[in-house]
A and B are shown apart, each in its own frame.
Chain A
Amino acid sequence: MSLQSEAENRIDEEIVTDAVLEAALKSFRLSVHAWSEAAYQGPRAALALHPRRSWRLAAGWALGLTLLAGSVSGGVYETHHRQELAKTAAARAAEQQRQASEERARQEEELLAKVDSDVARAVPSAMEPLAQLMAEDESR
């Protein structure tokens, strides 16, 4: 008997003498048969027997949607916040501008009043008695 044929015969003999191996191979065969039978009767139903897969899928979708919703609402909030800040800044700038223009108008008014009073004093104070006399003469 050749070496190869000795090795060939050894396979089956070893399996028979190895009870654990024999039992494992038998369980494996029956397990595959049971799985195949269930899957063959209704492939979709067989998949549904493993809820972990659908649970993982659902959890994945939920997480994805949550992240999407979070990033969208974050973006919306950020835009809204920026718009609010810009509005406040614009209102503050307008107020400052209004105050500055009011201050400028007040200063201009004061300056004009001063000029008016200066212009109103047409005769120097030292000449005032003479001017009075002239006014009296004219009235006569």
Chain B
Amino acid sequence: MAAGTTWEAMTKATAQEIAGDEFSTVVATHRPQIFRFLLSSTRDVDLAETLTQECFLKAHRNWASFRGESSAMTWLMRIAINLQKDHWRNRRLQFWRHTQTNAVELDEASEWLPSGESSAEQQLLARERVGQVWQAVEGLSERQRTVFLLRYVEEMELSEIARTTGLNEGTVKAHLSRAVGRVRTHLGGKR
């Protein structure tokens, strides 16, 4: 009996250790992507950092209940989307409170350019285009924005986006189509 209890305790400790190691690997692997998604959703470095930490804290608390039915990335992204939603909902409800935000201006967000653009003219054009896409993203609904960012920033497959957002694939495509249409309109105005 005593030997059984010791064995059980050892097994539990080992399982926890393995789970801890696994979770550390998950954090190291997916943290940059979660942060990037939250940064593109909020345009606020500090807020993105805070929400990323909250996301992994929540994931750690529920790690034992993660059954592996979806990929860890899908599961983490779903937590991140919910945290982001909660954040904006709280902001809307608490509009009478101090609502200072550190979100950078659209122009500032467009300053980050891919280094592949060779000439100054190409860089200017790329910056202008990135700014126009940011403007279009700003005008999207929350759901359209999430789907758009998951598709064109995180390069997720539509089926994966559907699993992450809990929407069916058709709805995801419909949102994506509207979002792309809006981006095209913004780009069309300046062509």
Q: Name A residues whose Cβ lies closer than 8 Å to a Cβ of B.
A: 4, 7-8, 10-11, 14-15, 18, 20-21, 23-40, 43, 46-47, 50, 52-53
Q: Kindly state the separation between the CA atoms of A11 and B153 in the bound complex, as whole angstroms.
A: 16
Are the CB atoms of B152 and A29 closer together than 8 Å?
Answer: yes
- State A43–B38 Cα separation when bound (angstroms): 13
B174: Cβ under 8 A from any A Cβ: yes
Cα distance, A23 to B115, chains bound together (Å):
14
CB of A3 to closest CB in B, whole Å: 11
Quick check: is B20 within 8 A (CB to CB) of the other chain?
Answer: no
B45 interface hit (Cβ, 8 Å): yes
Judged by DSSP, the binding face of B is: helix
Q: Which residue of B lies closest to A4 (CB)?
A: B170
Q: Is the CB of B35 within 8 A of A34?
A: no
Decide if B108 touches A40 in the complex (CB within 8 Å): no
What residue of chain B has the Cβ atom nearest to residue A15's Cβ?
B180
- Residues of B in contact with A (beta carbons under 8 Å apart): 32, 35-36, 39-40, 45-46, 48-49, 104, 108-117, 126, 129-130, 132-134, 152-153, 155, 170, 173-174, 176-177, 180, 183-184, 187, 191
Counting chain B CB atoms within 10 Å of each CB, the highest count among A14, A30, A46, A52 belongs to A30
Q: From the candidates A10, A18, A24, name the one contacting B132 in the complex (CB within 8 A).
A: A24
A7 touches B155 (CB 8 A): no
Let me know if A29 and B155 touch, CB within 8 A.
Answer: yes
A30 nearest CB across to chain B (Å): 3
A21 touches B109 (CB 8 A): no
What would 16 more interface pairs be, CB under 8 Å, given A34-B115, A39-B35? A4-B173, A7-B174, A8-B173, A11-B177, A18-B184, A25-B183, A27-B114, A27-B126, A27-B129, A28-B130, A32-B153, A37-B32, A43-B46, A50-B111, A52-B108, A53-B104
Closest 5 CB pairs of A and B: A30-B114, A35-B112, A36-B36, A24-B129, A8-B173
Task: Please indicate which of the listed interface residues A25, A34, A38, A43 has the most CB atoms of chain B within 10 Å of its own CB.
Answer: A25
Contact of A40 among B32, B110, B112, B183 (CB under 8 A): B32
Quote the shortest CB–CB distance from B135 to chain A (angstroms). 11
CA distance A68 to B152 in the complex (A): 49
A53 CA to B108 CA, complexed, in Å: 10
Q: Given contacts A11-B176, A24-B132, A52-B108, is CB(A36)–CB(B32) below 8 Å?
A: yes
In the complex, which residues of chain A have a beta carbon less than 8 angstroms from the beta carbon of B130?
A: 24, 27-28, 31
Chain B residues with CB below 8 A from A35, complex form: 39, 109, 112
A110 to chain B, nearest CB (A): 80
- When C-beta atoms are compared, the residue in chain A nearest to B36 turns out to be A36
**30 residue pairs from A and B, CB less than 8 Å apart:** A4-B173, A8-B173, A11-B176, A20-B187, A21-B184, A25-B183, A26-B114, A27-B113, A27-B114, A27-B117, A27-B129, A27-B130, A28-B129, A28-B130, A28-B153, A29-B153, A30-B116, A31-B109, A32-B36, A32-B39, A32-B153, A34-B112, A34-B114, A35-B112, A36-B35, A36-B36, A39-B39, A40-B35, A43-B45, A47-B45
